[in-house]
Amino acid sequence: MSSTQQTQPPARSTPGRVPVSTPAPQQWTARQRRSRRPVLAAMICVAFIGGLQGVDPALHSVAMPQAARELGMDPAAASFIKSIGTIILAASMLGVGILGDRFGRRRALVAGTLLMGAAAVITATAATPLIFGLGRALMGVATATSFAMCLAFIPTLYPREQLPKAFGLFFGAGASLIVAATALSGTVQGLFGWRSTYLATAALCVVLGVAALRFMPENRATVLRRFDAPGVFLAAVGLVALVYSIGRASTLGWGHPLVLGGLGVSAMVLAAFALWELRCKHPAFPVELFRLPAFTAACLAGVLFNWADASLLGQYPALALPAGVPAAAVSAIVALMYVGMICGAPAAGIAQNRFGLSNRTMFTSGLLLCAAGLALQVLLTNPHDLLLPAAGLFIVGFAVMWMQNPQSAVIMGSAPADQLGAVGAVKPAVGQFGFGLGFALAGPIAGIFMDGPALTAQAYGLGLASQAAFFVLAAALVFILLKPRSAAAAA
């Protein structure tokens, strides 16, 4: 066993709980650990690298329309290429998480971040739609690698009781990076063209990759498990079918044979994955974690807050832009969601660390906040009124981070010590599922209240208010699911 492996303490376990991992950073001296400076530097580095998962799609959405026109993409090709990175990310997440656990999480983190930069350069210099699509596919693999390792690293930097505070810093810094990059992207693209947007992403990836080499300690699982190739394959096929089907539902409709067939395939393959993992001696993912109410509730919350996020992000521009609201004003209003996230991340950490709010309280109140932000839109009567959309986007953004902190702490705090990367794959997986649902369901629900082809303020408000009612019911379900089993238990 290497010296790196020998210094990592064993996983802790408690009766009735899956062992959780809180290993200490391995390559720091005792004096460095006492100073905490290396921990803070590593945490800031991880937070900004994690923010790249939001920066890239935000900048990609700005650059994609101009790139599609210049490269001569037809609408079907443009739609597929726009989503190819997300599909590949879903397929890659579990496999790259396991590889990071086995061969070194810093190594995988640096490789993923630099690979993101290479993918951005390929996309920026593409002369054909095929090369452009290859760049985006490579970006999906790279993003999966870097983000999975970010999540896996945090429990090795902080003890379990400090994870809410750590994730508050992680998501707050990441949201700040997204806001800054989004605010500057329009100006950069206006001055230098769409290719400059991807080159800016590449430059940021290189800087953060070098920083990871400088500030991150090496870290890996103490027990090297066999690579579960069948499990990884089944998870990849099931998640690809799920993400692709939900994405196509937004354009083809939920009743289309391609959508229904894809959802059916996804359900069967993911069921086969679960059965295989339960019987496998060295499973890729510990599916028994779903027997823990807190873990299941955290995954459910992740689906729901991403749903609320995507639904409001999709519906407000669809109402405002055709009504003649200036694009700059729409962008400014949408940016308030990320401002809400910046505020919500530290607030959640303070609420749990200083005031001791339980996960049950955090999830339930967060879902009710999502419901409030969505329901508020029913009062909108004029698409040019900005106050209600601004308030709704801020509230939902705040609620996303209010829940995302405890969600991440529960998921990663439940991970066995040798499967941090694998368990970290759950978070983006449920996030992609929820985000896809939000985009795919918001339009059809609003369509129920439409009198014609155009989205009106009334249909917009009633559609979102209908979803708000579902979030109230979901909050009640989570409240019941996390009911303490005894007077001494805490959710």
Q: Measured between alpha carbons, how far is 295 from 20 in angstroms, rounded to an integer?
A: 12
Other residues' Cβ atoms within 10 Å of the Cβ of residue 358: 16
> What pLDDT is attached to residue 186?
67
Q: How many CA atoms lie less than 13 Å away from 303 in the CB half-sphere? A: 14
Rounded CA gap, 188 and 195, in Å? 10
104: left (phi over 0), alpha (psi -120 to 50) or beta: left
Cα distance between residue 94 and residue 426, in whole Å = 8
Is pLDDT at 491 greater than 50 in this prediction?
Answer: no
Q: What is the pLDDT of residues 308-331, one digit of tens each?
A: 998 998 899 889 988 998 877 887
Contacts of residue 452, defined as CB under 8 A and 6 or more positions apart, other chains included, come to none
What global pTM score does this model have?
A: 0.78
Using a pLDDT cut of 70, give the percent of the chain over it: 90
C-alpha span between 358 and 482 (Å, rounded) = 10
Question: For the residues 193-200, what does the mean pLDDT come to?
Answer: 88
C-alpha distance from residue 434 to each of 216, 311, 428 (Å):
31, 10, 10
pLDDT at 34: 43
As a whole number of angstroms, the distance between CA 152 and CA 22 comes to: 11
Phi, psi of 61, rounded to the nearest 5 degrees: -65, -30
Q: What is the pLDDT of residues 177-187, one digit of tens each?
A: 877 877 777 67
Cβ within 8 Å of residue 388, ≥6 positions away:
376, 377, 379, 380
Q: Which two tokens stand for residue 66?
A: 């101009």
Report the length, in residues, of the chain.
491
Q: What is the pLDDT of residues 113-168, one digit of tens each?
A: 999 999 999 999 999 999 999 999 999 889 888 888 888 888 888 887 788 878 88
Average pLDDT of the chain is 83
Per-residue pLDDT of 379-429, as tens digits, reads 999 999 999 999 999 999 999 999 988 898 899 888 887 788 888 888 888
pLDDT digits (tens, 9 = 90+) for 446-488: 989 988 888 999 999 999 999 999 999 999 999 998 888 654 4
Token pair, residue 475, equals 């909050």
Are 2 and 222 contacting, i.e. CB atoms less than 8 angstroms apart?
Answer: no
Mean pLDDT in residue range 40-46 = 86
Reply yes or no on whether the pLDDT at 206 is more than 90.
Answer: yes
Are residues 285 and 94 in contact, defined by beta-carbon separation less than 8 angstroms? Answer: yes
CA dist., res. 399 & res. 369, Å (int)? 6
What value, to the nearest 5°, has the Cα angle with vertex 153 and ends 204 and 83? Answer: 50
What is d(CA 489, CA 482) in angstroms, rounded to the nearest whole number?
Answer: 10
Of the listed ranges 92-96, 189-193, 209-213, 375-379, the one predicted with least confidence: 189-193
Residue 108, both tokens: 């995988």
